[in-house]
């Protein structure tokens, strides 16, 4: 008789150790399974088992079980049942042990699995808000099922980083965001898009954060694109930004790599709201901040060359700064910068007008010179016609003499005209130079 008792007790102990469960939980599960088996057997015999309440006395040493029943009692307003004075009747049928064992087997396994899952969920409940490692198991539509080792988690599409590529069997890091109750039981919700995920990555890479030497004051994020994280010193002599960046940027680079290349701006926190807003709008510099405390709004003035940096592409830098500081931010070009810009534009307009007049003057003088050349060419053509006409009227020897004289006269006139044109051109150039001065 000692062997069966030992086997039963050892079996309970082994299951408890293997599954990480309390032995009392297992014994209670067996009791519930025995009651379920008895009710099923009673209904098969045509009895109305729902009219009675049941309890089981289970010997934890030898596993012997007895079933007791009594008339059903309705619970009070608080849900309690008063069993004082209730007569319990032993209704254990002959040979029930064998029937109960067969019927209860599946129920026991199911209850143990539920208890095991409950224990696992209890373990993971304590880890909500921390980082866990897992492997991509399968895709359920746009959701991702992840193997966490002891159990599974799910990363909904809302917690995924847009355009991030995921492959089956790929090992990744996740934020254990929450555990929620669903029709299928409790579900572990994972995230890679939550701002807290970036903070937890920095806590892993920067020992000064868990130790309290560096304090994370806030995180603003647009997943897959850019994150701003504000840090402050929790200990004298500690540079919070430098601690997060690391030697040659190794710490922040490690975080960026885990985020798939997402840009991370580390911002120095300040109790001075205006200074904090300036830092949050980095890399823009030379900003002026005017606060409207009642509206919790800030008007930021930036120079022309810093305006686009302060606003960012599609307003991204301004949006993240607003989220990080929790202030509404309106960015404008500074009045001083506008005045400088206006002066520059006015000077450019004047310079353009001067260049236009100079070009016009040059064209006028050039046209005059060209007209002179054209007139002289016409004169040359006339003289050539005269020579040709004389050749027809005079004897050959006279023609030669006259022609030579006419050519000499034409050549002299051409030379004088060219000299005059050259002088006119030089005069035009000198006038242009004087106009520029």
Structural tokens at position 337? 């910068």
What pTM does this model have? 0.62
Q: Percentage of the chain with pLDDT > 90? A: 45
Yes or no: say if 51 and 66 are a contact pair by the CB < 8 Å rule: no
Residue 83 pLDDT greater than 80, yes or no: no
State how far Cα 408 lies from the chain centre. Answer: 90
Assess if CATH 3.30.1480.10 describes domain 2-73+87-124: yes
φ, ψ dihedrals at 189, nearest 5°? -95, 125
Class of residue 428 by CB neighbours under 10 A (exposed 0-12, middle 13-18, buried 19+): middle
Predicted confidence at residue 432, as pLDDT, reads: 46
Residue 386 pLDDT greater than 60, yes or no: no
Yes or no: say if 417 and 372 are a contact pair by the CB < 8 Å rule: yes
Residue 357: C-alpha distances to residues 343, 353, 371, 432 (Å): 21, 6, 21, 10
Distance CA 197, CA 129 (A): 9
Mean per-residue pLDDT of the chain: 80
Long-range contacts of 287-295 (CB under 8 A, 24+ apart): 288/334, 295/328
Predicted confidence at residue 1, as pLDDT, reads: 38
Predicted confidence at residue 433, as pLDDT, reads: 47
Distance CA 229, CA 231 (A): 7
Interaxial angle between packed helices 96-125 and 23-44, expressed in degrees from 0 to 180 and rounded to the nearest 10: 140
Residue 246 pLDDT greater than 70, yes or no: yes
Pairing of strands 152-155, 89-90: unpaired
Residue 428 pLDDT greater than 80, yes or no: no
State how far Cα 334 lies from the chain centre. Answer: 31
φ, ψ dihedrals at 327, nearest 5°? -125, 145
Within this chain, domains 2-73+87-124 and 127-191 share the same CATH topology: no
Query: What average pLDDT score do residues 347-362 get?
Result: 64
Yes or no: say if 213 and 234 are a contact pair by the CB < 8 Å rule: yes
pLDDT tens digits, one per residue of 316-331? 999 999 999 999 999 9
The SS3 of residue 261 is: coil
Yes or no: say if 131 and 174 are a contact pair by the CB < 8 Å rule: yes
Predicted confidence at residue 28, as pLDDT, reads: 86
Residue 173: which H helix or E strand, with range? strand 171-182
pLDDT range class, residue 3, cuts 50, 70, 90 = very low
Residue 131: which H helix or E strand, with range? strand 131-140
Length of the chain: 437
Topology annotation, domain 127-191: OB fold (Dihydrolipoamide Acetyltransferase, E2P) (2.40.50)
What DSSP designation does 286 have? S
Residue 45 pLDDT greater than 70, yes or no: yes
Place of tokens 């990363």: 155
φ, ψ dihedrals at 61, nearest 5°? -90, -50
The SS3 of residue 21 is: coil
Query: What average pLDDT score do residues 227-250 get?
Result: 95
Yes or no: say if 179 and 148 are a contact pair by the CB < 8 Å rule: no
Higher pLDDT, 118 or 274: 274
Beta-carbon contacts of residue 141 (< 8 Å; ≥ 6 apart):
157
Yes or no: say if 220 and 318 are a contact pair by the CB < 8 Å rule: no
Give me the residue spans of the domains in the chain.
2-73+87-124, 127-191, 350-436
């Amino acid at each position: 008789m000692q062997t069966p008792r030992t086997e039963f007790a050892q079996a309970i102990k082994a299951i408890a150790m293997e599954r990480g469960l309390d032995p009392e939980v297992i014994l209670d599960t067996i009791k519930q399974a025995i009651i379920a088996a008895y009710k099923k057997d009673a209904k098969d015999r045509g009895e109305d088992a729902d009219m009675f309440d049941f309890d089981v006395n289970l010997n934890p040493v030898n596993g012997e079980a007895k079933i007791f029943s009594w008339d059903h009692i309705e619970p009070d307003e608080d849900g309690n049942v008063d069993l004082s004075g209730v007569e319990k009747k032993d209704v254990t049928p002959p040979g029930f042990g064998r029937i109960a064992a067969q019927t209860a087997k599946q129920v026991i396994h199911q209850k143990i699995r539920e208890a095991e899952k409950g224990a696992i969920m209890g373990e993971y409940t304590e880890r909500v808000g921390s980082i866990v490692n897992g492997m991509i198991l399968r895709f359920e539509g746009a959701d991702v099922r992840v193997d966490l080792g002891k159990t599974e988690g799910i990363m909904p599409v809302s917690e995924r980083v847009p355009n991030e590529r995921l492959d089956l069997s790929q090992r990744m890091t996740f934020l254990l965001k929450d555990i929620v109750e669903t029709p299928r039981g409790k579900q572990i919700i994972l995230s890679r898009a939550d701002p807290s995920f970036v903070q937890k990555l920095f806590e892993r890479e920067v020992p000064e954060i868990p130790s309290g030497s560096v304090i994370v004051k806030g995180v603003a994020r647009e997943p897959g694109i850019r994150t701003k994280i504000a840090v402050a010193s929790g200990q004298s002599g500690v540079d919070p930004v430098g601690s997060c960046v690391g030697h040659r940027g190794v710490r922040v680079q490690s975080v960026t790599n885990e985020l798939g290349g997402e840009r991370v701006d580390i911002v120095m926190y300040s109790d001075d709201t205006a200074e904090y807003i300036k830092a949050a709008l980095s890399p823009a510099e030379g900003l002026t901040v005017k606060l409207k405390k009642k509206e919790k709004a800030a008007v930021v003035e930036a120079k022309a060359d810093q305006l686009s940096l302060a606003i960012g592409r599609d307003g991204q830098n301004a949006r993240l700064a607003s989220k990080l500081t929790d202030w509404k931010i309106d960015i404008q070009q500074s009045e001083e910068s506008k005045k400088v810009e206006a002066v520059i534009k006015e000077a450019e307009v004047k310079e353009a007008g001067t260049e236009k007049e100079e070009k016009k003057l040059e064209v006028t003088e050039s046209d005059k010179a060209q007209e002179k050349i054209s007139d002289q060419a016409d004169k040359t053509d006339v003289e050539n016609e005269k020579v040709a006409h004389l050749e027809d009227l005079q004897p050959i020897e006279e023609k030669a003499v006259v022609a030579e004289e006419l050519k000499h006269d034409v050549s002299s006139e051409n030379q004088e005209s060219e000299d005059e044109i050259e002088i006119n051109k030089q005069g035009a150039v000198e006038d242009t130079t004087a106009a520029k001065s």
